[in-house]
Amino acid sequence: MELTEDLLAIREGIAALCADFPDEWWQAQDSAHKFPHLFYDAIAKAGFLGICVPEEFGGSGLGITEAAVMMEAISGSGAGLSGASAIHMNIFGLNPVIVFGNQAQKERALPPLVAGREKACFGVTEPGSGLDTTRLTTRAERVEGGWSVTGQKIWISTAQVADRILLLARTAPRDEGKPTHGLSLFYTALDRSRCSVREIEKMGRAAVDSNEIFFDGYAIPAEDLVGAEGQGFRQILHGLNPERILIAAEAVGLGRAALRRATAYAKERVVFGRPIGMNQSIQHPLAEDWMALEAAWLMVLHAARLYDAGRPCGVEANAAKYLAAEAATKTCRDAIATHGGMGYAREYHVERYLREAMIPWLAPVSPNLILCHVAEKALGLPRSY
């Protein structure tokens, strides 16, 4: 499970790029609620936005393993989920277009994304459906020249700055056939003058916006339908496992950043005439955190390599996300505890890490639902939901 020379080169390249964006810079973006455009542009200029995009469309044609190493390095630099989420969707999100889109769609969609000329967001989740995607109510109706979309999406990251949206909508009633049928996928322009995009005030990662989007007769051209009508649910499945793997990698990176700061502070902080790192009450939690993060990282790599080999990886991808999120959340809590009262101060950065650690813990799927999935798929227990 050691990283190859090529993977190490990706990690080193990202580390060199991220050195220009220290914790203080990310803290400023978070405080100002400002999207990290400079960072996004630097990633695009270095060619990393197209890491998983086929070479014929300007990308590198690499796999999810390479992308996972990249995202772990970005988050682990101290950028955390603010840095990772700024480019997260662009790395894996258009996989359904790559797999199911026609040549014209790929030529239209992929090169601008790789070059950083366009940003994309992912429009699936709705307030009334949660994780039950089959109950989406946003509908797309056929009209002359294309489709008319009406409905609401929620928790849509980067919708304040995105140029395009990968949108899942119902094109046939749910009661006609299987519930998973009748959902269709569109990759289309996000014109904020024709829909309402409202930012959600939230706990962390203020540099990358989260939003509600309201559509009312939103026109989409016919050529923006991805693949076959009614097959959208099957299409987005091609993005779910990569998303879990990448957010797990980001969680590991965030945990490692917190552990690095906690360890450094434990060596330097002197109380009662000795470094606090000499105390087992400080040592033991941090040692546990190191082990948990390392174990989670091995599962991330395992799931990524299964995916790249074209093998089933649903259980492993979900397990990686669960283990990484749990490890990152505990490590960030322990980092604050190691700093004592100063851990609550923004200048030490670990409070930002903890706020951001809640994102991979909660999304894109809850820890409880992952446990249900693993119980059913890995252990053969009856489905509980």
- For residues 174-202, one letter each, b for 16 or more C-beta atoms within 10 angstroms of the residue's C-beta and e for the rest, the string is beeeeeebbbbbbbbebeeeebebeeeee
- Distance in angstroms between the alpha carbons of the first and the last residue of the chain: 35
Mean pLDDT of 273-285: 98
What percent of the chain has pLDDT above 90?
Answer: 92
pLDDT tops 90 at residue 174: no
- Residue 222 pLDDT level (bands cut at 50, 70, 90): very high
Q: Which residue from 192, 247, 235 is spatially nearest to 94, judged by alpha carbons?
A: 235
Q: What is the pLDDT of residue 42?
A: 98
Query: CB under 8 Å to 122, separation ≥6 — which residues?
Result: 89, 93, 156, 157, 165, 166
Pick the CATH number of 120-229 from 3.40.50.2000, 2.40.110.10, 3.50.50.60, 3.10.20.90: 2.40.110.10
Q: What is the pLDDT of residue 2?
A: 85
Q: Which residue from 154, 120, 148 is spatially nearest to 136, judged by alpha carbons?
A: 154
E strand or H helix at 140? strand 139-143
Q: What is the pLDDT of residue 189?
A: 98
Q: What is the DSSP letter of 57?
A: G
- Which fold would CATH assign to domain 234-377? Butyryl-CoA Dehydrogenase, subunit A; domain 3 (1.20.140)
Q: Who has greater pLDDT, 27 or 134? A: 27
DSSP reduced 3-state for 82: helix
For the segment 149-158, what is each residue's pLDDT rounded down to a tens digit? Answer: 999 999 999 9
Mean pLDDT of 151-166: 97
Mean pLDDT of 12-17: 98
Give CA–CA dist 332/297, Å, rounded: 16
For the segment 337-365, what is each residue's pLDDT rounded down to a tens digit? Answer: 999 999 999 999 999 999 999 999 999 99
Q: Average pLDDT over the chain, rounded to whole?
A: 96
Tell me how many degrees the CA angle 243-248-254 measures, rounded to the nearest 5.
130
pLDDT tops 80 at residue 209: yes
pLDDT tops 90 at residue 237: no
Q: Where in 258-315 does DSSP place strands (E)?
A: 270-271, 274-275
Domains of the chain: which residue ranges? Answer: 5-115, 120-229, 234-377
Please state which of the ranges 74-88, 174-188, 261-275, 290-304 shows the lowest mean pLDDT: 174-188
Q: Which residue from 313, 316, 260 is spatially nearest to 289, judged by alpha carbons?
A: 260
CATH for 5-115 is 1.10.540.10
Cα R_g (the chain), whole angstroms: 21
- Give the ranges where 203-279 is alpha helix by DSSP (H): 232-268
With residues binned 3-state (H G I as helix, E B as strand, rest as coil), the percentages for the chain, rounded to 5, are 55, 15, 30
Give CA–CA dist 245/304, Å, rounded: 6
The first and second tokens of residue 83, run together, are 């840095």
Give CA–CA dist 70/72, Å, rounded: 6
Q: Where in 164-323 does DSSP place strands (E)?
A: 164-170, 183-189, 196-199, 210-221, 225-226, 270-271, 274-275
- Output the pTM of the full model: 0.96
Please state which of the ranges 21-30, 223-232, 235-244, 263-272 shows the lowest mean pLDDT: 235-244
Give CA–CA dist 50/130, Å, rounded: 30
Q: Which residue from 151, 359, 153 is spatially nearest to 247, judged by alpha carbons?
A: 359
